[in-house]
Amino acid sequence: MSEQTEKNLIEERARIWNEMTGLIDTASQEERDLSAEEAQRYDQLENDLDAKSKSIERIQGYNQRRDELEQPQVDYRLLPGGDRMAEERQVPVTQTDEYREAFFDNLRYGFGGLEDEQKEVLSRGRMNASEMRALAVGTDSAGGYTVPTEFLNELIEAQKAFGGVRGVARTFATSDGRDMEVPTIDDTSQKGEIIGENNSANEQDTTYGQKVLKAYKYSSKMIKVPMELLQDSAFNLEAHLNEVLATRIGRITNEHFTTGDDDDKPEGIVTGSAEGKEAAAVAAVTYEELVDLLHSVDPAYRGLGAAWMFHDNTLRELRKLTDDEGRLIFQPGMVQGEPNTLLGEPYVINQDMPVMEASAKAILYGWMQSYAVRNVMSTTIIRLNERYAESGQVAFLGWARHDGRSLHAEAANGAVKHMVMDDGT
């Protein structure tokens, strides 16, 4: 449709609006309501205004679609760097509905049971997954496929709900598993200066450090499913795998994200924390010790949204503590969405935290987002047909790569502090 037609409609709509405005202004100036005749005219104008607006929107929508469809199609692969340009202009295969359907049909029926189009979609998804290079390609029993993006997000969300660290740490994803170097800095002991007129500023170098995030490979172990269930259309294979994968991988990664020793595994948030307070007892803490731990963390980090982290058994004991006025230091949330608090700060229950016993680092407090969790964005599932065939079962094996560590420079005023229990001697 012509631009002139659109222009005429816009002008007509403006004229209608001006007349409507004039009726209202006249009545307002005379401090009265619209007369019956004016009200009838106003209603008619309002209907005309709506009709003109719809016509304008229709023309604008048509023109936009026309421009999109008539735009010359460029084969970016013919341009320098075109393969990359073409890839960036396409939705990743693993984000399409076609891939998701082909992926779960492959798990249910095997690669041989797929249509040719589905095999092609899966193959393209495999080619885009960097970690597939280490897997056998072309065989149904050894080939693995990257899980659909939506299913991956569901897995991560389930792992957040299962564990304690993922829900409060800084999490991010990478498209490959190469070592990721993250710079750190500790300049807390340095200050500025006052200098006299015409004097030169002094020098004070700062010290930079580096943390390296790796991509440790985790396995779900074998997940066996009877063939009868796979053949039963009522069996929700997707939900089943989500539950098992999230629980198994979530359980081991949360353990490592909590207390991992950084020896061929992640550095746990406890391992990377600094000591903030030593308790006087082996299996008990006092109100005063908790206050000391809280204030061992710099107010700058507390203001970012600090929290406690401990085992549920520890919470059981802390709920019994009172302050100097005899008031419980535990306070439940009073309205929906408001968290329970300890000394006015929210807490996280993490069943992989050490319980209160000799020399245990049983309580954490601080800015939990100073701990980073890395997810390599290609969880893989392999279908194994022959392994348990004599038992009438098909096995699935899930692979995922992760790492986690504190990104704060190792210093006395770390963003997360722990309370260590007395050693009992």
pLDDT in tens, 214-259: 999 999 999 999 988 888 867 888 888 888 888 899 999 999 999 9
Banded model confidence at residue 376, pLDDT cuts 50, 70, 90: confident
CA 10/CA 361 separation, integer angstroms: 71
Give 60's pLDDT tier (boundaries 50, 70, 90).
low
Q: How far apart are CA 408 and CA 414, in angstroms?
A: 7
Domain with residue 297: its CATH number is 3.90.1690
**Residue 199 resides in a domain:** no
Token reading at 44: 């008619």
pLDDT at 411: 52
For residues 396 and 126, which has the higher predicted lDDT (pLDDT)?
396
Does the residue 325 lie in any domain?
A: yes
- Tell whether 77 is covered by a domain: no
Q: Is the confidence at residue 197, as pLDDT, over 60?
A: yes
Query: Percentage of the chain surpassing pLDDT 90?
Result: 31
CA distances from residue 134 to 131, 221, 374 in whole angstroms, order as listed: 6, 18, 21
For the cut 90, the answer to whether the pLDDT of residue 1 exceeds it is no
CA distance 408 to 144: 37
Q: Mind listing the pLDDT tens digit for each residue in 329-368?
A: 998 876 556 788 999 999 999 999 999 999 999 999 999 9
Residues 422 and 408 in one domain: yes
The three-point CA angle 182-184-188 to 5° equals 165
Rounded to whole angstroms, how far apart are CA atoms 361 and 355? 8
Same domain for 221 and 344, yes or no, is: yes
Question: How far does CA 281 lie from the centroid of its chain?
Answer: 39
Q: Compute and round to an integer the Cα radius of gyration of the chain.
A: 32
Range of the domain at 98: 88-143
| Bridge-based pairing state of the strands 341-342 and 380-384 | unpaired
List pLDDT tens digits, range 170-190.
Answer: 888 887 788 888 777 665 666
Per-residue tokens: 37: 């005749």
Overall domain count for the chain = 3
pLDDT over 90 at 403, yes or no: yes
Question: What was the pLDDT predicted at 357?
Answer: 97
Helix H segments across 212-311? 227-231, 237-259, 287-296, 299-302
- What pLDDT does residue 220 have? 92
139 and 150: one domain?
no
C-alpha distance from residue 187 to each of 169, 184, 192 (Å): 23, 10, 11
Mean pLDDT of the chain: 81
pLDDT (0 to 100) of residue 87? 47
Q: Is residue 162 part of a domain?
A: yes
Do the beta carbons of residue 281 and residue 422 sit within 8 Å?
Answer: yes
Q: Are residues 38 and 175 in the same domain?
A: no
> Higher pLDDT residue, 343 or 138?
343
Q: Which of 19, 40, 70 is where one domain is finished?
A: 70
Count of beta carbons in the 10 Å neighbourhood of residue 73: 5
Q: Is the pLDDT of residue 64 over 60?
A: no
125 and 161 share one domain: no
Residues 98 and 229 both lie in one domain: no
Contact between residue 243 and residue 158 where contact means Cβ atoms under 8 Å apart: yes
CA dihedral 88, 145, 248, 416 (to 10 degrees): -20
Residue 202 CB contacts under 8 Å (≥ 6 apart), including other chains: 193, 195
Query: Is residue 419 classed as helix, strand or coil in its secondary structure?
Result: strand
pLDDT on residue 74: 41
Query: Which pLDDT score, from 0 to 100, does residue 2 have?
Result: 61
Q: In terms of domains, do 224 and 347 share one?
A: yes
Q: In the structure, what pLDDT confidence band is assigned to residue 309 with cuts at 50, 70 and 90?
A: very high
Residue 133 has a pLDDT of: 40
The answer to whether residue 389 scores a pLDDT higher than 50 is yes
In terms of phi and psi (left: phi > 0; alpha: psi -120 to 50; beta: otherwise), the region of 184 is beta
H/E stretch holding 177 reads none
Residue 176 lies in a domain: yes
Contact 369/220 with Cβ under 8 angstroms? no
Q: Which of 37, 70, 103 is the last residue of a domain?
A: 70
In terms of domains, do 173 and 115 share one?
no
151: confidence class by pLDDT, cuts 50, 70, 90? confident
- Torsion (CA) 32, 37, 40, 41 in degrees, nearest 10: -90
Q: What is the pLDDT of residue 251?
A: 92
Q: Is the pLDDT of residue 191 over 80?
A: no
pLDDT of residue 102: 85
pLDDT at 89: 47
pLDDT tens digits for range 25-58: 888 788 888 899 988 998 888 888 778 877 876 7
Q: Are 226 and 393 in contact (CB under 8 A)?
A: yes
pLDDT for 11 beyond 70 = yes
Domain contains 203: no
Indicate whether this model's pTM tops 0.75: no
Note whether 338 and 316 are same-domain residues.
Answer: yes
- Position 416 scores a pLDDT of 94
Q: Are residues 117 and 149 in the same domain?
A: no
- Same domain for 170 and 129: no
Gap between the Cα atoms of 332 and 219, Å rounded: 38
Helix (H) or strand (E) holding 366: strand 361-366
Question: What's residue 79's pLDDT?
Answer: 40
Residue 253: what pLDDT? 95
Residue 3 has pLDDT above 50, yes or no: yes
3-state secondary structure 139-167: CCCCCEEECCHHHHHHHHHHHHHHCCCCC
Domain-embedded: residue 191: no
Note the Cα 355 to chain centre separation in Å: 28
Q: Is the dihedral of CA 93, 96, 98, 102 positive or negative?
A: positive
Does one domain contain both 30 and 99? no
Beta bridge partners of 307: 366
63 burial type by CB count under 10 A (0-12 exposed, 13-18 middle, 19+ buried): middle
